[in-house]
Structures are given as C-alpha cells and as structure tokens.
Amino acid sequence: MKRKSIVFLITAVMMFTMMWNLSAFAADLPTGDSFEAPQKLTVELKEWEDGRPYFALKWLNPQSIWELQKYGVEHGEWGVDCQIDIKVGNGQWYYDASGELFGNALNFDEEEFDEPGNYVTDDVVFDPIQLNENLGVDGTVDIKTNV
C-alpha cells in the first residue's frame, strides 16, 4: 500500500510541475480562428524544357502568416502550408469531387526572416499533367483553353 501511495505522490508532483511548463509553451503559440487571405495572387502559365505546360504561382502573404511560419521554424514545427484547388474547364472543383487538395509547405528562407517586409511566396509550381493519375487529366488536355 505504501508503494502505491509513493507512486501516486511522485506522479502527482510530476504532473503538477509539468503543467506550468506546458502552459508557457502554449502562451507563445500564435492562434486564430481564421487566417488572412493571401494578396496579389498571380498564376503564370509556363513550360518545362520538354514543352509540357505548368503553372507558376506567386502571392503576397499577410504578416500574420509570415509570423506563424517564423514561429514554426524557430520552434522546430512545420509551420504553414498552401493548398491548391483546381478544375478543368467548367467542370467540378477537384476538392468537391474528391475531398482532397494539393499543396505543400511554404518555405521562407532564413534571410527572408531578417527582412520584415518580405512576405512574397514566389516558388510554388503546380503541374496538372504530372498529377494526371489524381486528376483524370491526360496529356491531351489543352491547358491554355482551360485556364
């Protein structure tokens, strides 16, 4: 019986001391119900060296997104992702048809964190032909007429 009491006491002390540490981490975490939308989105149709078309995306991130990503990098977390939804012509949006979105982590270089005004994401490439097994799109689709 003494052994159970000692184990309980040690467990209770450990839990009590850890509660303050966890709340300190949570207090630093940026939170919000919703995030600001990216601004000045541009989508440019480009071609790979072999002539296949792809989209190059560029946008301006709000400062709140930049700060969240910076927090993630500084604390060893993943940070922020972008998500892309598409449709072919007047068809259904891919998310509505499949429940999936395409995307990837936003990458801010360390030098961009030193410049508080640099919130541009300009290195996102989206290649619908490469993803044809997911989209049901084959190489015969004329991307230019479906933009």
pLDDT digits (tens, 9 = 90+) for 86-137: 777 788 887 887 777 777 766 665 555 555 555 667 667 777 766 655 455 5
Whether 13 and 72 share a structural domain: no
**Domain range spanning residue 8?**
1-30
pLDDT digits (tens, 9 = 90+) for 25-81: 554 555 555 677 788 888 888 888 888 788 888 888 787 777 777 777 777 776 677
Whether 55 and 111 share a structural domain: yes
Instruction: Give the residue-averaged pLDDT of 19-23.
Output: 53
Is 0.85 surpassed by the pTM of this model? no
Whether 44 and 26 share a structural domain: no
- Please count the structural domains in the chain: 2
Q: How far apart are CA 65 and CA 61, in angstroms?
A: 6
Q: What is the CA radius of gyration of the chain?
A: 23
More confident: 14 or 114: 14
Whether 59 and 106 share a structural domain: yes
Whether 49 and 115 share a structural domain: yes
Q: How far apart are CA 82 and CA 124, in angstroms?
A: 9
Whether 21 and 84 share a structural domain: no
Nearest to 118 by CA among 126, 127, 109: 109
Q: For the chain, give me the number of helices (H) and strands (E)?
A: 5, 5
Q: How far apart are CA 55 and CA 23, in angstroms?
A: 43
Whether 25 and 42 share a structural domain: no
